[in-house]
Chain A
Amino acid sequence: MQHSAVSKLKKSLPLWFIAPHLIIFAIFFIIPFFYGIVISLYNWNMFFPDMREFIGFDNFNSILFDQDSIYYKYFWNGLKNTLTFVAISVPLLVSIPMLFALLINVEPKGYKVFRGIFFMPSLLSISTLVLIWRWVLNTNVGILNLTLSEFGFENIPWLADQPYAWFSLAMMTVWWTIGANMIIFTAALKEIPTSLYEAAEVAGANIFQKFLHITIPSLKNPLIYITIMTTLASFNVFGQPQLATGGGPTETTKVLMMYIREIAFGGGRPNPGIATAMAVCLGVIMITISIAQSKIIKRLG
Chain B
Amino acid sequence: MRAYTPKDNVQKKSYYTDRYWIAPQVAKSKVSDDKVFSEDLEAIKKAKIKVLDSYIQVEQMVVYIKPEDIVKTLQLLRDECAYTQLSELSAIDWISQRGGFEVFYQMLSMSKRKRLRIKCFIKQDESIESVSKLFRSADWSEREMYDMFGVKVNNHPFMKRILMPDDWEGHPLLKTYPLQGDEFASWYEVDKIFGKEARDIIGPEIRDSARVDRYDTERFARLGHEVAKGVEFNPDEEKKPLAYQEDDGVFLIEGFDEDKSQIISDRKR
**Are A and B associated in one complex?**
no
Name A residues whose Cβ lies closer than 8 Å to a Cβ of B. none
